[in-house]
Structure 1
Amino acid sequence: MTDEYKEALLEKQNYHEGCPGCKVEQMKQQRRGYPYLELSFVWIIVLSTSLPISSLYPFLYYMIEDFGVAKTEKDIGFYAGFVGCSFMLGRALTSVFWGIVADRYGRKPIILLGTISIAIFNALFGLSLNFWMAIGTRFLLGSFNCLLGTMKAYASEIFRDEYQATAMSAVSTAWGIGLIIGPALGGFLAQPADKYPNVFSQESIFGRFRYALPCFTISAFALVVTVLCCFIPETLHNHKQDRTSHDDSYEILEAASRDSAASAGKAEKDERKGSQGSLLKNWPLMSSIIVYCVLCLHDTAYSEVSS
């Protein structure tokens, strides 16, 4: 039996009616051409989640100074560090949880939750009246910032195999551009009543809340993204794994080559058994996580110091 015939048998799928994941798989099989629309959705969603991360760095020093919590000028950096790290602390505590929820209930609800939380909590951060309100809103913003991991999974599911590399590079590109645009927005739009007195008066809301304009701008963008996300398809399958079609395919393959099918089944069983082991003993995975943590440490430390 030729390899082409074997692959054709194994590629057969039993699609389920009413399953959004199966619908996406059908769409991927039938569609031809470059997926510009899906790429645009992934791009703007990741951009919306990266903008709030670094937008506060240009004005954080002056915000802490306005709060009056620091007794001396040297203490401003100390308190600014708490506000800056509260976002990442919230992400670190909840990222795994949101990944589990996305695997169980779907990608789309988590994406909508993430964009809505950006629109709400980032706007509240701009309206902060004191130091503790700023920490609380940033912590909640980070706790509900569940989009990056979810979007990587979504991008891997919504694109055909030949566009997987493009999808992942789009996630990284949008993330990097957001980290560039965010500080620019924070620097240009903070304290608008002082910088642009002909446009914003001291009696306006932006005169009282001097750092609300950049936060409101990002929240407005996140709100637009939320509306657009209502039209994206869900990619998670809502049925149990269908083993019937695969079993039939393996029966046909066994009739032609029993030894080959037996060895393949044993290898798959061993691989499944190994994947059920402890993640802490998965050294390739743990080494990648450690390297990524060191990279993020240097990146965040540099952003904080340079700001």
Structure 2
Amino acid sequence: MPVSTYTNPELEDTQVDHGAQTSRYRTPLPAGQIATLLLLRFCESASVFVVFPFLNELITSVIGGNKEKVGYYAGLMDSVGQIISLVTVMYWSRVSDIIGRKPILLLGTAALAVSMISFGLSKTFWGLVVSRCIFRALNSNAGVIKSVVGEITDSSNSADAFALLHVPWSVGSSFGSLLGGWLVRPQEHFPTIFPGQFWKANPYFLPCATVAAISLVGFFITLGLMNEVHELESDLEPLLPPSNQETTKATTEDPVPLRDLLNLRVLIPVLNYTSIAFLHTSSNAIQPLFLAMPVSLGGLEFNPRQIGTVLSAYGAANAVFQTFFLGVLVRKFGLKNIFLTAMAMFLPMFGLSPLMNVVARSGGGSGVIWFFLVCQLAFSMVMELGYGCIYMFITAGAPNKRSLGATNGLAQTLVAVVRIAAPLFSTALLSFSIERHLFGGYAVYLALWIMSIGSLYLASWLSVG
């Protein structure tokens, strides 16, 4: 197995000595700061996932009804947004190292609200694209929030903090999916409450506006309650004390030059982050399409309400799972072991989609399909443990806390690259597979399965000491 050259005392602390947990004292988490960050993560997640239940239906309507082309347009829309992120995320993350985290978080949260209002009112495909680009251009909250967590935690409580950080994303995905599935076309479903012509002309505005209102609440709570941690002195034990090989010029007061981030200590965790992000983004891009597509085209032919219910239930279950298991599992089995297990879950995840369609085509009972779908979602929950793990690897690899913004910015920039490629690759290959009937229309799943094997090899390069 390849071994990287850097050492990591924080990650060593999560390992088990003959199965026994470490008994060192854990610093209490700063509840107020953490709660504010969790709210912002919730707002962003809800904004992302609210469109999924009706995305297939919406895109079909704006492109003229060609269902076979939906995959291409869905991938194009997401990839354009990711290109914008690629251009801006490093800039905002680096600025947060200089002016502080709070202004950047406020800007990003306001952008969410504006973006969702615009998306709900859009009538053309390019209107949808521009709406998503608004928040991609101005929102770098994902990386900045991780930087704040790195600043306010230490080696004794980081696993619990990063476990909590994933919870609002799961809850937001559940809540957003529920809104997107149940609040579309309100004039049809709730005619006495929404009788006006406006709701008929804008059938997707209500779920988008609801999420926008929540983002505005998050904006004002952050404005009034969040403390700026960038300039505060911290007596917390750092996640990764300087090693003997490090020079003394990189003090806690000085952000390091960007070129100093290009070393194995930083790059190996960052590349593993891009790996899990590529596979997960590909899964997120094709899963709603798979659930909505006709059985004859390789899907399960669920309606928007069914899709919203499925994604909502998954988000709720995942939130509970991440909250109560990530920290415990990391301390018991070790960070690397949990990450390797998480990456291995992509194999059954991508294998089950074609299996479910085969069962549906053969007229198999719906109970069998639902059983396989529940198994697939359970594997996905275990896979998402990998995010909390890799966040800790990246945070521990930063030269110092004043460089957390740049380190997370580098990670988010590379992730933006793969998130440009992943939706285009997966959705285009999905459509191409169906049109050309490659491997029975399942070529996309075969390709992603092979990539999952490669991701496991990359994960083996991670070192805990």
| TM class, shorter-length | 0.7 to 0.9
Contact 1:156/1:167 (<8 A) preserved: no
Give the CA deviation at 1:220: 0.4
- Where 1:74 maps in the other structure, the secondary structure is helix
Q: How far has the Cα of 1:114 moved from its partner?
A: 0.8
Q: Provide the identity percentage.
A: 25
Partner Cα distance (1:168, 1:266) in 2? 27
Q: Does 1:285 align with 2:237?
A: no
> How do residues 1-307 of structure 1 correspond to structure 2 at under 5 angstroms?
35-67=30-62, 69-70=63-64, 72-159=66-153, 162-201=156-195, 203-230=196-223, 231-237=225-231, 269=247, 272=250, 278=259, 281-307=262-288
Equivalent position SS for 1:296 = helix
Whether contact under 8 Å (1:47, 1:177) holds in the other structure is: yes
Q: Which amino acid aligns with 1:63?
A: L
- Give 1:131's aligned amino acid: F
**What is the CA–CA distance in structure 1 between the aligned matches of 2:178 and 2:75, rounded to whole Å?**
20
| Distance across 1 between alignment mates of 2:262 and 2:148 | 27
Tell me the distance in 1 between the aligned counterparts of 2:258 and 2:33. 35
Conserved? CA contact 1:70–1:79, under 8 Å: no
Supply the distance in 2 between the matched residues of 1:265 and 1:187 (Cα, whole angstroms). Answer: 51
Q: Report Cα offsets for 1:237-290 as digits up to 9, x if no partner.
A: 29xx9xxxxxxxxxxxxxxxxxxxxxx9986536849x7683574124222222
Cα offsets for 1:30-70 (capped at 9, x unmatched):
xx965332221121111111221222111111112222x24
Cα distance 1:151–1:97, how it changes in 2: closer, same or farther (>3 A)?
Answer: same
Instruction: Output the CA distance in 1 between the equivalents of 2:265 and 2:41.
Output: 27
Task: Report if the CA contact (8 A) 1:87-1:138 is conserved.
Answer: yes
Note the residue ranges of structure 2 that are not aligned, 5 or more in a row: 1-26, 234-241, 289-465
2:51 counterpart letter in structure 1 = L
- The offset of 1:131, in angstroms, is 1.0
Query: Structure 1 CA distance, aligned partners of 2:279 and 2:58?
Result: 24
Q: Counterpart of 1:11?
A: none
Equivalent pairs, count: 249
**What's the CA shift for 1:304?**
1.9
- Offset at 1:138? 0.5
Q: CA RMSD in A?
A: 2.8
Asked whether the equivalents of residues 119 and 208 of structure 2 are also in contact (C-alpha less than 8 Å), the reply is: yes
Task: Give the TM-score normalised by structure 1.
Answer: 0.72
Contact map agreement 2:114 2:134 (CA 8 A) in 1: no
Contact 1:86 1:142 (C-alpha < 8 Å) held by counterparts: no
Paired residue type of 1:59: F
CA contact (8 A) 2:33 2:227 kept: no
In the superposition, the TM-score normalised over structure 2's length comes to 0.49
CA distance in 2, matches of 1:78, 1:232: 41
Q: Retained in 1: the 8 A contact 2:28–2:157?
A: no
Shift of the 213–280 alpha-carbon distance from structure 1 to 2, 3 Å rule, reads same
Distance 1:86 1:265, change over 3 A: closer
Decide whether the 8 Å contact of 1:90 with 1:139 is kept in 2: yes
Whole-Å Cα distance in 2 between the matches of residues 304 and 115 of structure 1? 24
Q: Secondary structure at the match of 1:210?
A: coil
Query: CA deviation digits over 1:186-229, x for unaligned, max 9?
Result: 1111222222223222x342221111111111110000011101
Larger CA deviation: 219-228 vs 189-198: 189-198
C-alpha distance in 2 between matches for 1:270 and 1:162: 25
